[in-house]
Chain A
Amino acid sequence: MSDSRSVLIKSGWVLGLFSFIGIGLVSLTYSVTHEKIAENERLFILKNLRELVPGTLHDNDLLADTLQIAQAKEFAGKHPVTIYRALKNKKLVAIIAAPTAPDGYNGSIKLLVAIKENGELIGVRAVSHHETPGLGDAIDTNKSDWIHAFNGRSLSNPPIRSWHVKKDGGDFDQFTGATVTPRAVVKAVLKTLQYYQANHSNLAKIDG
């Protein structure tokens, strides 16, 4: 009786010891790596932003001047939208919004949508998605040129009723055998443009 009890207690100690060592190892690694990981994430976002709005266009820190839109009716999704503002001489030159298209073929598609101050699109990029390789992933710039079709577009080019894929009577190409993905992207870009138009004066306001 007392024998099995002492085995139990010893086992508890051993288990505790190993938990302690494990936690120690992970904490140590975390403390060594977490700054580098945060920096990696920052540089990764910045690299994507730079592709759309090169450093020559603005003189502020894009990652420092951001707005979080929690529940905009234009986006209608549950995902909050981050907006990065590019300023030059304290005036807005462009924004980059990071909306999420909720209705991709395999879940959400995270986008970056860069809009010039006058409401014209600079460009769009898909930064993360789970669309099917070979079908829906043609939204990636290294797979096809499709996403460049947004460059220079605006709410009047094409008119709003044509902001659809061709199959739905709009202006934008779909992919062979894949309509769901481009449909989701076109819709999300349109919503972002509409949001920008409705909130332009707020977004252009510079405090301080």
Chain B
Amino acid sequence: MDSYSKILKNGLWENNQAFVALLGLCPLLAVSNTVINGLVLGLATTLTLVLSNTVVSLIRHQVGSEIRLPVFVLIIASIVTTIELIMNSYFYELYLILGIFIPLIVTNCSIIGRAEAFASKNPVGASFIDGFGMGLGFTAALVILGAMREVLGSGTLFANADLMFGDAAKDMVIYVISDYEGFLLAILPPGAFIGLGLLIALKNVIDKRLSKPASQSVSLSMDAKKA
């Protein structure tokens, strides 16, 4: 079945939750000030998406449409609270940095969005892949935006990696620009909006480029017919 790869591609590119669906913008804009912050929130969101999609798909025949949404909310909230407790016990310092944004994963509309639009109508395997693809797409957006803002804003990449990977990762910090004064706008919220806008524009340009050859060949064949 090549539909799995289609589902993955849908999550990563065609229906990317951050760049196309424009969902989950609150955590996206707030947490994307460094690569590591973005990566951690992205992975936590991906885990939530995979688990919630899988569970929702498993129970899709048992739960009537009247109580579907409250049950989804219960499932998502339980999963997120569990992830929060686990992070709090094993990645305490990261937990302190991301703070409120971990519990707020509950309110990321792309999670209930995927539960409702996909997992409640599709088999478990496909729902799992959909959660994974959507999560990775969201993570990619967070990491790319985080990298842009971190380099422009503080001149570094992978700062605080040791909080995630342990002390060995202290040397992972790359000083892209040495003796950098910092560019405040990139770190502050306006930088997040501007950065996201630029990335969406870039994606649209790429999409246009990709679709051009196809449309050209179509018009060529039309010409050929006429001739």
Contacts and interface: CB of A to CB of B under 8 A. Distances in A.
Interface of A: 7, 10-11, 14-15, 18-19, 21-23, 25-26, 29-30, 33-34, 36-37, 40-41, 44, 132-135
Nearest to B159: A142
A22 B75 contact: yes
Nearest to B90: A36
Given A14-B62, A18-B75, A40-B92, A26 B187 contact: no
B182 interface: yes
Nearest to A19: B74
A134 B78 contact: no
A44 B85 contact: no
B146 to A, nearest CB: 14
Contact of B89 (A37, A132, A133): A37
B64 A11 contact: yes
B188 A132 contact: yes
A133 to B, nearest CB: 5
B163 to A, nearest CB: 12
A132 B185 CA distance: 11
B88 A33 contact: yes
Contacts of B67: 11, 14-15
A60 to B, nearest CB: 25
Contacts of B188: 132-134
A25 B82 contact: yes
A51 B202 CA distance: 47
B33 interface: yes
A15 B78 CA distance: 14
B63 interface: yes
Interface of B is mostly: helix
A10 B156 CA distance: 56
Interface residues on B, range: 20 to 34
A39 to B, nearest CB: 9
Interface in B85-99: 85-86, 88-90, 92-93, 96
B66 interface: yes
Nearest to B33: A133
Nearest to B66: A11
Nearest to B187: A133
Contact of B88 (A7, A19, A22, A37): A37
A23 B81 CA distance: 10
B70 interface: yes
Given A29-B86, A34-B85, 14 more contacts: A7-B64, A11-B66, A11-B67, A14-B63, A15-B70, A15-B74, A25-B82, A26-B85, A33-B88, A33-B89, A36-B89, A40-B88, A133-B33, A133-B184
Interface string B167-184: 000000000000000101
Nearest to A44: B92
Contacts of A33: 85-86, 88-89
A11 B62 CA distance: 10
Question: Nearest 8 CB-CB pairs, A to B?
Answer: A22-B78, A36-B89, A33-B89, A40-B92, A134-B184, A11-B67, A29-B82, A33-B85
